[in-house]
Amino acid sequence: MPKLRLSFISAFNERVDPLMKGAVEAEGIEIVPTYSHPSETFWRQLKFQEFEVGEMSMSSYLIARERGFDIIALPVFPSRRLFHTELSYNTDCGIKKPEDLLGKRIGVGEYQQTAALWQRGFLEHDFGVSQYKVHWYMERTEELSHGGQTGFTPPQGISFQRIPTDKKLGIDAGER
């Protein structure tokens, strides 16, 4: 009997690599792997549903399901990150503690992404920094955003803007 052939898109990481390279096999299944950056992976799945199996942002998945997307989650979490440690800031801006973020600008790749959701949650619940008391700037354009594919819009009362397409949040290695 031929194996069930499944296309699978995921970011490269040590947890999925053995499956993607065939070192670990699921009985009766042939994996056809594609590696891509998580933001591209999620966007492609939300826009085109082009892979049978794919990594997905938890927040985007929940929004997509609520909006009627025909996708099912498996309780597998290939990313293991503590989002509390992933906030960066300009050391010359006067921020000494999380509460100093009140009234400041916070840039995110995608407002609805799981990392930004966690960051809004711990800033508010652990440090009293309400998501309504800062100014959110999102890097992705509407066409390439996960929210653009699911129809997501930020809650009323959120200060939200997209950064200009000729700007970016990060610094390229060549610009340092």
Per DSSP, the residues of 103-133 read: T-EEEES-TTSHHHHHHHHHHHHHH---GGG
pLDDT in tens, 7-44: 999 988 888 899 889 999 989 999 999 999 888 998 99
Q: Quick one: pLDDT at residue 89?
A: 84
Q: Quick one: pLDDT at residue 74?
A: 87
Q: Quick one: pLDDT at residue 101?
A: 94
Which pairing describes strands 135-138 and 159-162: parallel, antiparallel, or unpaired?
A: parallel
Q: Quick one: pLDDT at residue 173?
A: 41
Cβ-in-10-Å burial (0-12, 13-18, 19+) of 60 comes to: buried
Q: Quick one: pLDDT at residue 153?
A: 87
Q: Quick one: pLDDT at residue 161?
A: 93
Q: Quick one: pLDDT at residue 131?
A: 95
Q: Quick one: pLDDT at residue 171?
A: 52
Q: Where are the domains of the chain?
A: 4-66, 83-171
Which residue numbers in the chain have pLDDT < 70? Answer: 171-176
Other CB atoms closer than 10 Å to residue 175's CB: what's the count? 7
Query: Coil, helix or strand for 30?
Result: strand
Q: Which run of H or E residues covers position 32?
A: strand 29-35
Q: Quick one: pLDDT at residue 175?
A: 44
